[in-house]
Structure 1
């Protein structure tokens, strides 16, 4: 739990429980699993889960809503389960019922739910989803095209204030175009596969970023440029969260404290160097992409 989060796209974080299970390539070097190991709680990534004692924090933020909105001009954005997954099928049903009840109670907050298990959303939403969905930003992760093809259609089955994708850590290129338009059937040569049945919904926002941590894998800058351009063409907000530990050589300027750990040669003659997350920053081709969606 953090009232002021370091995560670029939210204001605060709330973990109703902690613990998860690695289920994809993106989980290989999970920061939350590393946290559990450092704190002697490896069992939380070996089948166990622990309910936290921070449930009153969202209630406090809800009571403070007027002050926050006066300062920021919008409701507080609360990212839920940065150390877990709301749609984890190893969570007791009672815990999740309590969580939905908390969202219902704290009606001055916006809740961001990001899952690697969007196939579980349908069976785990509460009976009163229509009552709370206007305050929920529902998202899924993908690290490459295979993950996007698997996860995004499940996300787009569900209405929410915002439907978003976290393309982080980026491990391969992704074509999001078929899911960025709401102009009817997408079975056209230019759009690719048909997603009939999802005409009403589309991705509303994409967050992209490279991997951080001691084992971070480099991302090709062209992957991010492509997603940036796809979003611009569709009029979809795009947020570039970070390069991670690696960044293209061409963008590295003078820095007396810069310590280059390694370099890699990627496709097309692109060279990236390990410079550390802080130095790498979040400018893509010298531009800060920090756009947010307008909830419906």
Structure 2
């Protein structure tokens, strides 16, 4: 089963695993955890264990059944490189990705070291975009060096939720940067100057920049509903995508 996504930078989600555990401040208000609880209460197949890490091998072939070329966010409800996911299962996921060559797959992790370890001696399919979360300096920024070790056609950063000024970023080997603020009733604020600094670095390095959302706090520093804060930065939307396509 794959699902249409409301995430601005993808089209559908595919979750061959569900569930996760928290590893850094970016996980504090995990949207997937709350959603898993709701899906469990609704008796949705796959969520019988709630947010406990669960492998769902029955979903491995789902993208092969969809013939329309699609961009998939892999494991929106989990982390493919979680310590409880065996490497042989991760290999099965990437086998599907390689066979479904007409699709594009976006894989995002906070376990960047484990992702780098998995790809030692392995090549990533060209239709797999690999990324890491970068929410702060202490936990997020060091993941970028691990990502650079991965032989991927597209490497990207999800700087969301942006929790502080992340300083100077080494963007060599990075193709795409997504920035966004946190949503939800307990959202932590994101300041415009933090976003501006990242956008300027992307422009200088020739890296595509995508501004996803303000989240629960507006550019003016006022907390309000996400829909009222919008996606504009300095009066425009920033929807740049990496200059690559499947099969390039």
State whether residues 36 and 42 of structure 1, in contact with CA within 8 Å, keep that contact through their aligned partners in structure 2: no
Tell whether 2:159 aligns with 1:167. yes
Any runs of at least 4 consecutive aligned residues in structure 1 with deviations exceeding 6 A, and if so which? none
State whether residues 219 and 229 of structure 2, in contact with CA within 8 Å, keep that contact through their aligned partners in structure 1: no
Task: Write 1 or 2 for the structure with the bigger share of helix.
Answer: 1
**Residue 204 of structure 2 corresponds to which residue in structure 1?**
233
- Return closer, same or farther for 1:176/1:49 CA change in 2, 3 Å cut-off: farther
* Aligned-pair CA distance for 1:275: 1.8
* Aligned-pair CA distance for 1:124: 2.2
Cα deviations by residue, 1:89-147 (Å, 9 ceiling, x for unpaired): 101444323212211221111111100000001332386x43x4311111000111222
Q: CA–CA distance in 2 between the matches of 1:285 and 1:12?
A: 29
**Residue 225 of structure 2 corresponds to which residue in structure 1?**
276
Alignment of 1:134-283 (within 5 A): 134-177=126-169, 179-181=170-172, 202-249=173-220, 272-283=221-232
Alignment of 1:46-57 (within 5 A): 46=52, 48-51=53-56, 53-57=58-62
Q: What secondary structure, in the 3-state scheme, does the structure 1 residue paired with 2:182 have? A: coil
Q: CA–CA distance in 2 between the matches of 1:277 and 1:59?
A: 35
State whether residues 15 and 52 of structure 1, in contact with CA within 8 Å, keep that contact through their aligned partners in structure 2: no
Structure 2: which 5+ residue stretches go unaligned? 42-46
**Residue 199 of structure 1 corresponds to which residue in structure 2?**
none
- Return closer, same or farther for 1:221/1:52 CA change in 2, 3 Å cut-off: farther
* Aligned-pair CA distance for 1:28: 0.4
State whether residues 215 and 229 of structure 2, in contact with CA within 8 Å, keep that contact through their aligned partners in structure 1: yes
CA RMSD of aligned residues (A): 2.1
- Return closer, same or farther for 1:290/1:52 CA change in 2, 3 Å cut-off: same
Q: CA–CA distance in 1 between the matches of 2:204 and 2:190?
A: 22
State whether residues 139 and 166 of structure 1, in contact with CA within 8 Å, keep that contact through their aligned partners in structure 2: yes
Q: CA–CA distance in 2 between the matches of 1:78 and 1:91?
A: 20
**Residue 107 of structure 2 corresponds to which residue in structure 1?**
113
Q: What secondary structure, in the 3-state scheme, does the structure 2 residue paired with 1:274 have? A: coil
Number of aligned positions between the proteins: 239
- Return closer, same or farther for 1:294/1:216 CA change in 2, 3 Å cut-off: same
TM-score by length of 1: 0.75
Tell whether 2:9 aligns with 1:5. no
Q: CA–CA distance in 2 between the matches of 1:103 and 1:54?
A: 12
**Residue 34 of structure 1 corresponds to which residue in structure 2?**
34
State whether residues 97 and 125 of structure 2, in contact with CA within 8 Å, keep that contact through their aligned partners in structure 1: no
**Residue 59 of structure 1 corresponds to which residue in structure 2?**
64
Q: CA–CA distance in 1 between the matches of 2:28 and 2:57?
A: 25
Q: CA–CA distance in 1 between the matches of 2:56 and 2:3?
A: 18
Rg comparison, structure with higher value: 1
Q: CA–CA distance in 1 between the matches of 2:189 and 2:242?
A: 28
Q: CA–CA distance in 2 between the matches of 1:35 and 1:148?
A: 24
Q: What secondary structure, in the 3-state scheme, does the structure 2 residue paired with 1:147 have? A: coil
